[in-house]
Structure 1
Amino acid sequence: MLPIILRRLALSVPLLLVVSAITFLLESFVPGNPARTLLGLNATQEQYDALRAALHLDRPVGAQYWLYLRGALHGDFGNSLFTDEPVLGLIGQRLPVTLSLVIGATGLASAVGILLGVYSATRGRLSRRLVDIVSLLGGALPNFWIALLLVAVFAVKFGLFPATGYTPFADSPGQWSAGLVLPVVALAIGGVAMIAKVTRDAMLTTLGLDYIRTLRASGARPASIIWKHALRGCGLPLVTTIGLTMIAFIPGTILIENVFTLPGLGTTVVDATNQHDLPVVQGVALTFTAMVIVVNLLVDVLYGFLNPKVRAQ
């Protein structure tokens, strides 16, 4: 198992380099000029040229990227062009918000999706058709529209949860959890549909295998057959689907955080893109990539627990 993890980590290095290079190149095409934005319209040309030189904006894109890469290799990801705050410090402040959304949505989508999938696989055709309908709706409806609908109903009409804002867990655990309910639900709905459908299909296949028939013939309890044996047999496709769902939630937080005004990496990268704040955009892009790498590593580890052949490689 350890060699597999080491290979994945080795492959992640060129991936991070490619992501940083593509982000740097694409950001150079975004309209706007940070030097002009910082100085305003009343600055002289001499002031403008001096600031461009100080920010290395007067150099070719390749030279700018090399300066950034050399600093990043030494642990220096630069400072925000507008707040002069270190990028790593800014990401450290905003990352807990995004992680709360991603982990919370993954947990909710997994629990509800597995329950729906198992129920539909064991209760007949009507329930299976209902899961198909839920899957279709969950995949078709955009999560930002669902977020606005949740705000209109549960925040504005009934006042059950706050519509916007974020309270740190250390300040008030109750307000922290209440503020995350609507964003997590809005983000998780699409994942619930996908996980339910995969669970249903995998469970139907597993329940038709010979060892399940043997367990039934030996008098094993139905609940034990479903939740202990059959569900474990669905482990590999379930782990794959949950991992892909979690990866999809990472960029999905950008829209959700902006709808609910949450101070996470999603709102940070939108503001930084509008301001042409390249060090912050680069830092967030690399953080998102690192999160994807971590999720893939977790999936590989779970594969090893579920399939002994993977551990033997």
Structure 2
Amino acid sequence: MWRFIGRRLLVSALLVFVVSFLTFLLQAVTPGDTARMILGYNYTPEAYHELRARLGLDQPVLVQYVHWLGNALHGDLGTSPISGVSVASEILKRLPVTLSLVVLATAVTALVGVGLGVLGAVRGRGTARLVDVLSLGGYALPNFWLALVLVTVFAVTIPLLPATGYVPLSSGPGRWLAYLILPVTTLVLQGVAVFARHTRDSMRDVLSRDFVTMLRANGIPERSIVFRHALRNAAIPTVTVAGLTFIGLFSGTVFIESVFAMPGLGGLAVQATTSHDLPTIQGVVVVFTVIVVLVNLAVDLAYGWLNPKVRVS
């Protein structure tokens, strides 16, 4: 098991290094100039070259990356040349917002999706068709339309929930949850559809196997067969969907945080891209990559727990 974890950690560290280098390289060839963005329209060539030298932009890209990497390994992601704020401190301030949104959305997606999938597999064609209809609706409804409808209905017409903003969990679980209900609902619709279909199909496959027939012949209660035996065997593809859902929700937060005015990493990435704030872009990408790597590692470990054969692969 430890060898299995060691291999995954080694691959994960290599992936973070490759992504950080490619991001740095792409930023170097992207149109735009941080120095010009700071100076505005009226500046002298001397001031421009002096600022580029002060920011280290006049050095070769490889030299800039090595310098950045050395600082990053010590926890220093640099300072934003636009705001003058430490990139690491800004990310740490905004990370709880994005994680709250993504973790809660993933949990709701998994619970509702698995529940609908198991129901569709056990109850027969009528419930299965209902799952198909919900899945089709989840795919068809665009997030931006659903977000606007939810805000209009539940924040304007019926002022039950706040339309914008975020409060930390330390302010109270009730207030924290109230600010997350609308954005989480917007995010989970498509994910629930994916979870429901994968769980239903996987459960159907497991329930048709010989060992389930043997359990039924031995008089094991149907509830025990479904939840103790079949669901665990059907969980491996569901774990894959859970990992992909968690990762995919990070891309969705860029739009959701903008619509609901949430001060998360998605909004920070948009601001940094607009102002050509290279250190902030680099920091956000690295943090996102580390989170994706950790999620993939968790999925691999879940595979090893659910199926011991995976540990020796």
* TM-score > 0.5, shorter chain as reference: yes
Change (3 A) 1:146 1:205: same
| Distance (whole Å) between structure 1 residues aligned to residue 168 and residue 199 of structure 2 | 35
Instruction: Work out the CA distance in 2 between the residues paired with 1:151 and 1:273.
Output: 27
Contact 2:37 2:276 (C-alpha < 8 Å) held by counterparts: no
Cα distance change, pair 26–156 in 1 and its aligned pair in 2 (3 A):
farther
- What is the CA deviation profile of residues 39-94 of structure 1, one whole-angstrom value per residue up to 9, with x for unaligned ones? 23333332222111101122333333233223223432111111222111111111
Alignment of 1:57-68 (within 5 A): 57-68=57-68
Q: Whole-Å Cα distance in 1 between the matches of residues 23 and 142 of structure 2?
A: 25
Show the counterpart of 2:78.
Answer: 78
Q: Matches of 1:297 and 1:239 in 2, distance apart?
A: 12
Cα distance in 2 between the residues matched to 1:30 and 1:148: 33
Q: Which digits, 9 at most, give the CA deviation of each residue in 1:248-268, with x for residues without a partner?
A: 112221111111111111000
Distance 2:159 2:30 in 1: 40
How do residues 180-191 of structure 1 correspond to structure 2 at under 5 angstroms? 180-191=180-191
Q: Could you tell me how far apart the structure 1 residues matched to 2:88 and 2:3 are?
A: 30
User: Is the CA contact (8 Å cut-off) linking 2:4 and 2:312 kept in structure 1?
Assistant: no
How many Å apart are 1:2 and its aligned residue? Answer: 1.6
Q: Are residues 1:109 and 2:92 paired?
A: no
Q: Determine the structure 1 residue equivalent to 2:205.
A: 205
Structure 1 stretches of 4+ with a deviation exceeding 6 A read: none
Matching residue of 2:47: 47
2:99 corresponds to which letter in structure 1?
L
- Kindly indicate whether residue 253 of structure 2 is the aligned counterpart of residue 263 of structure 1: no
Correspondence 1:12 to 2:12 = yes
Alpha carbons 1:32, 1:275 under 8 Å: kept: no
Tell me by how many angstroms 1:312 deviates.
4.6
Q: Which amino acid aligns with 2:43?
A: A
CA distance in 2, matches of 1:116, 1:208: 19
The equivalent of 2:132 in structure 1 is 132
The aligned counterpart of 2:240 is: 240
Instruction: Give the partner amino acid of 1:131.
Output: V
Cα offset for 1:309? Answer: 1.7
Aligned mates of 1:26, 1:147 — CA distance in 2: 32
Contact 1:80–1:279, Cα closer than 8 Å, also in 2: yes
Q: Which structure 1 residue ranges, 5 or more long, are not aligned? A: none
Structure 2 partner of 1:149: 149
Amino acid at match of 2:152: A
Q: Secondary structure at the match of 2:295?
A: helix
Q: Which letter does structure 2 place at the counterpart of 1:41?
A: Y
For residues 46 and 171 of structure 1, the distance between their equivalents in structure 2, rounded to whole angstroms, comes to: 50
How many residue pairs are counted as aligned between the two chains? 313
Of 41-50 and 280-289, more deviation after overlay is shown by 41-50
- Report Cα offsets for 1:229-277 as digits up to 9, x if no partner: 2111211111111111111112221111111111111000110011111
SS at match of 1:95: helix
> Once the two structures are superposed, what CA deviation does each residue of 1:14-54 show, in whole Å capped at 9, x if it has no partner?
21122112222222344432222222333333222211110
What CA distance in whole angstroms lies between the structure 2 residues aligned with 1:65 and 1:141?
Answer: 42
**Structure 1 vs Structure 2: percent identity of aligned residues?**
52
Question: What SS does the corresponding residue of 1:170 show, helix, strand or coil?
Answer: helix
Q: Give the TM-score normalised by structure 1.
A: 0.94
Q: Is the 8 A contact 1:206 1:234 kept in 2?
A: yes
Tell me which amino acid in the other structure corresponds to 2:21: A
Task: Write the letter of the residue equivalent to 1:89.
Answer: S
CA distance in 1 between counterparts of 2:309 and 2:59 reads 52
- Contact kept, 8 Å, 2:116 with 2:196, in 1: the verdict is yes
Residue 79 of structure 1 aligns to a residue whose secondary structure is coil
Is residue 98 of structure 2 the alignment partner of residue 98 of structure 1?
yes
Q: Which residue of 1 aligns with 2:23?
A: 23
Distance 2:29 2:161 in 1: 40
Match of 2:192 in 1: 192
Give the Cα–Cα distance (whole angstroms) in 1 for the partners of residues 29 and 101 of structure 2.
Answer: 31
> Structure 2 length normalisation: TM-score?
0.94
Q: 1:62 and 1:210 mapped to 2: Cα distance? A: 59
Whole-angstrom CA distance in 2 between matches of 1:311 and 1:19: 27
Whole-angstrom CA distance in 2 between matches of 1:137 and 1:15? 36
Cα distance in 2 for partners of 1:307, 1:10 equals 22
Whether the 8 Å contact between 2:113 and 2:193 is mirrored in structure 1 is yes
